Amino acid sequence: MSQTHKRTQVAIIGGGPSGLLLSQLLNLAGIDTVILERTSRARVLARIRAGVLESGTVDMLRAAGVADRLVAEGHTHSGCVFTDDDLMVRIDFTGLTGKAVMVYGQTEVTHDLYAAQDELGTPILHEVSDLVIHEATSSAPYLTYTHEGRAVRLDCDYVAGCDGFHGVSRQTIPAERRSEFERVYPFGWLGILSRTRPAHDELIYANSGSGFALASMRNANLSRYYVQVPLTDRVEDWSDEAFWDRLRACLPQDIRATLQTGPAIEKSIAPLRSFVCEPMRWGRLFLVGDAAHIVPPTGAKGLNLAVSDVFYLHQALISALRSGDTTGIDRYSDRALARIWQAMRFSWQLTNMLHRFDGEDSFAAQMRKASLMHLSQSETARRELAENYVGLPF
Ligand code: APR
Ligand code: PHB
């Protein structure tokens, strides 16, 4: 089979938020990229993901020139609510930190990034298979892959592994050179989308005797809800009615009383995991986003951590390619991991504070209640949570 030979400055594996945002920022700086995506664009855009953007993420999307729709359709949230049965504690992000977050679906961010990349004419190849990274530790790395039935070789200066948790990039780092840290939680989140008025004008993170629930939204007529379920549950085990009953049981009476229910237009179960791979660099290969780390959705950090990785890496690659200054790429892994571990801690802490663990004793349940009571009584505790939720500095 004949092989097509191509070249680019930065080869990007993965057409999700990490790959798209990195490519957009590099292209705007005059650096050429190629994005290689395993699935179709439709499949990428069909993924339902979290919808909370830190202020740093909004700034990066503005810098990438993709924030117009976000500004027009996104919703600024200056706080959120934590509850323990009928105890309701509002975390005043803006009052405590001077910052807010934006609620805007990740799917919309991905859509906006694809539109911007198309406008720049960036090569984005879908349905790419058999991708292999070669010579990552040499000065001339290259990829081989199959696309449209043809074997292709792509030579490049650098490779960005933006291919998520199940990608090939992390596996390219020899196992004996990787340190992996993981916590798999013994429960999942059953999530639904419904064309209903959101339960509250701000997000509600609910701890209760019935377990954890989250009341979120996409807009005034589209709600996003989650309830904690055992890992053994399947989506087909949950009727809409059973979902609404569990959600009601988790929410405070005042919220429950006005909850609008309706048919689920999307229903899925996501497992919860904390994961970090060190290092995030192997020669001229750099791991970005979910390829290097996974957080439980409790702290809404997944997309925001991918964005801070992109912040560090795009600056580093521009310096290296423009002036040969490799300080940034030499520091990338340590800089990214320093912020990742802080978000990892916050997400792990919130997950433990809000979820009931199978087989836990009564003391554990009391500790959760005491944590939420402490939050209600201590502005210092609320400020610490707010600082982490709105996003620590890049
Ligand atoms: N070759 C090409 N593409 C691949 C390969 C491969 N071998 N393996 C995976 N991919 C693609 C996936 O199909 C996916 O579209 O890489 C992309 C990775 O995208 P994400 O998983 O969305 O990861 P990332 O871009 O880092 O975004 C992180 O997305 O998963 C959420 O919660 C996460 O919000 C966070 C954000
Ligand atoms: C969501 O709206 O999907 C969402 C919001 C906050 C989270 C997780 C998910 O912590």
Residue 295 backbone dihedrals phi, psi, to 5 degrees: -120, 150
Instruction: Decide if pLDDT at 320 tops 60.
Output: yes
Which pLDDT value is given to residue 3?
67
CB within 8 A of 15, min separation 6: which ones? 35, 36, 37, 41, 44, 114, 124, 126
Cα 147 to averaged position of ligand 2 atoms, centre (Å): 35
Helix or strand run (H / E) with residue 211: none
* Model confidence pLDDT, tens digit, residues 159-207: 999 999 999 999 999 999 999 999 999 999 999 999 999 999 999 999 9
Cα 292 to averaged position of ligand 1 atoms, centre (Å): 11
Cα 85 to averaged position of ligand 1 atoms, centre (Å): 36
Q: Which of 142, 297, 314, 332 is catalytic?
A: 297
Which pLDDT value is given to residue 338?
98
- Give the ligand with the smallest distance to the CA of 171: 1
Dist. CA 347–CA 326, nearest whole Å: 32
Does the beta carbon of 162 lie inside 6 Å of ligand 1? yes
Does the beta carbon of 36 lie inside 6 Å of ligand 1? yes
Assign 276 a pLDDT band (cuts: 50, 70, 90): very high
CB within 8 A of 340, min separation 6: which ones? 276, 292, 293, 305, 308, 309
Dist. CA 150–CA 38, nearest whole Å: 15
**How many degrees, rounded to 5, is the angle at CA 130 between CA 145 and CA 172?**
95
* Model confidence pLDDT, tens digit, residues 52-110: 999 999 999 999 999 999 999 999 999 999 999 989 999 999 999 999 999 999 999 99
Ligand 2 pocket check: which of 52, 201, 225 to mutate, most ligand atoms within 8 Å of Cβ? 52
CA 76 to chain centre: 18
Which pLDDT value is given to residue 48?
81
Residue 372 backbone dihedrals phi, psi, to 5 degrees: -70, -35
Does the beta carbon of 343 lie inside 6 Å of ligand 2? no
Does the beta carbon of 50 lie inside 6 Å of ligand 2? yes
- Give the ligand with the smallest distance to the CA of 303: 1
pLDDT mean across residues, the chain: 96
Dist. CA 76–CA 78, nearest whole Å: 6
Does the beta carbon of 105 lie inside 6 Å of ligand 2? no
pTM, rounded to two decimals: 0.96
Which pLDDT value is given to residue 142?
98
Closest-CA residue, ligand 2 atom 6, reads: 300
Which pLDDT value is given to residue 51?
87
Average pLDDT over residues 17-32: 98
Dist. CA 49–CA 54, nearest whole Å: 15
* Model confidence pLDDT, tens digit, residues 227-247: 999 999 999 999 999 999 999
Dist. CA 51–CA 49, nearest whole Å: 7
Helix or strand run (H / E) with residue 248: helix 240-250
Instruction: Decide if pLDDT at 2 tops 70.
Output: no
Does the beta carbon of 113 lie inside 6 Å of ligand 1? no
Dist. CA 156–CA 137, nearest whole Å: 12
Calculate the dihedral angle through the C-alpha atoms of 373, 374, 380, 386, rounding to the nearest 10 degrees.
-50
* Model confidence pLDDT, tens digit, residues 103-154: 999 999 999 999 999 999 999 999 999 999 999 999 999 999 999 999 999 9
* Residues present in the chain in total: 394
Query: 205: exposed, middle or buried (C-beta count within 10 Å: 0-12, 13-18, 19+)?
Result: buried
Residue 243 backbone dihedrals phi, psi, to 5 degrees: -60, -50
Nearest ligand 1 atom to the CA of 290 is: 26
What single DSSP character describes residue 345?
A: H
Dist. CA 245–CA 111, nearest whole Å: 34
Residue 275 contacts residue 180 (beta carbons within 8 Å): yes
Strand partners, 276: 181, 293
Dist. CA 332–CA 326, nearest whole Å: 10
Average pLDDT over residues 266-284: 97
Which pLDDT value is given to residue 358?
87
Does the beta carbon of 52 lie inside 6 Å of ligand 2? yes
Q: How many Cα neighbours within 13 Å face the side chain of 135?
A: 13
Dist. CA 73–CA 220, nearest whole Å: 11
Catalytic residue list contains 355: no
- β strands within the chain, DSSP E: 3-13, 33-36, 52-53, 75-77, 79-84, 87-92, 101-103, 124-125, 129-134, 142-147, 150-161, 179-194, 204-207, 213-219, 222-230, 264-278, 281-282, 285-287, 293-294
